[in-house]
Structure 1
Amino acid sequence: MEKIVKDVGEIQSRLLDHRPVLQGELRYFVKEFEEKRGLREMRVLNNLQNMTVETNELILPKCLKIMQENLYEAWTTLVATNHMIQRIHQRGQKTQQLQNERLETSHETYKAEWDAFMKEQSLKQAAIDEEHNKAVQKLKEQYAEMERDLAKNAFL
């Protein structure tokens, strides 16, 4: 029975106790990281830190100065451009207003001319109608006279 308990204990320690495996993995990781790689990661981190400090202390202020100068220049250009656009827009509105006034004036002129033309045509039509009526009346009288003459001659 003792042997069975001892065998079961060994099986249990092999199956459930992971400490020896983990200790081996940890030793391998430490050996790989510290011994083989040396201080390579430390040098890389130091280089990155130096680059960050240089960027913060030297490059960033230069960039800010250049950006502020160019931003002011761009802003002044934008203000000038906006002013020019407003003037052009005002000129366009004035031109449009003048064109509308001219169009309205010419429309009124054409309407007055058309009305005058139509009155003239009405007067001409009335004159022609009157002349026609006179001619018709004259012809009626002439035919009536001819019929009377014909009637007189027919009785003779």
Structure 2
Amino acid sequence: DRRRDSPAAGSPIQPIIKDVGEVYSRLLDHRPVIQGEIRYFVKEFEEKRGLRELRVLENLKNTIFETNERVLPKCEQAMQDNLSETFKRLQAANAMIRRLQERECEARKVK
């Protein structure tokens, strides 16, 4: 047994040595406190990070829903309307160019 082998075992110094050991561990050994603080910090960080990431994902989901339900149909309709109008203008321009080419051909034949 270690108590019997130690030089202060059974002597009046034993309580003093025990008290010194307790004082040392309370004043100078900060490992338990630091480990507790580290565990607390990690827990808080993970919880806050998890909540922040959850909010980011929720915002992304809402943005995607908004885009699919409202923005995309509006864009498709605007594109259809504009493409239809552009197609009509291109057809008109094509008809004008065709008439100009016919006039040029007729003018060359006359000369």
Instruction: Name the TM-score class by shorter chain.
Output: 0.5 to 0.7
User: Which structure: greater helix fraction?
Assistant: 1
Q: CA deviation at 1:77?
A: 1.1
* Aligned ranges 1:79-98 → 2 under 5 Å: 79-98=80-99
Q: CA deviation at 1:39?
A: 0.8
| Correspondence for 2:52 | 51
| Correspondence for 1:67 | 67
Q: For the structure 1 residues 50 and 36, does the alpha-carbon distance in structure 2 shift closer, same or farther, using more than 3 Å as the test?
A: closer
Q: CA deviation at 1:82?
A: 1.5
Distance across 2 between alignment mates of 1:81 and 1:33 = 67
| Correspondence for 2:107 | 106
Q: CA deviation at 1:99?
A: 0.2
Identity of aligned residues (%): 8
Distance across 2 between alignment mates of 1:34 and 1:88 = 75
Q: CA deviation at 1:38?
A: 4.1
After superposition, give the CA deviation of every residue in 1:23-66 in whole Å (9 maximum; x if it has no partner).
xxxxxxx869624534111101001112233344x423421232
Which residue type is aligned with residue 47 of structure 2?
Answer: N
Secondary structure at the aligned position of 1:85 is classed as helix
| Correspondence for 1:18 | none
In angstroms, what is the RMSD of aligned CA positions? 2.4
Which residue type is aligned with residue 98 of structure 1?
Answer: R
Q: For the structure 1 residues 89 and 33, does the alpha-carbon distance in structure 2 shift closer, same or farther, using more than 3 Å as the test?
A: farther
Distance across 2 between alignment mates of 1:92 and 1:33 = 80
Distance across 1 between alignment mates of 2:36 and 2:65 = 47
Q: For the structure 1 residues 48 and 90, does the alpha-carbon distance in structure 2 shift closer, same or farther, using more than 3 Å as the test?
A: same
TM-score (norm 2): 0.58
Number of matched pairs: 80
TM-score (norm 1): 0.44
Secondary structure at the aligned position of 2:51 is classed as helix
| Structure 2: stretches of 5+ with no match in the other structure | 1-30
Q: For the structure 1 residues 33 and 82, does the alpha-carbon distance in structure 2 shift closer, same or farther, using more than 3 Å as the test?
A: farther
| Structure 1: stretches of 5+ with no match in the other structure | 1-29, 112-156
Which residue type is aligned with residue 53 of structure 1?
Answer: L
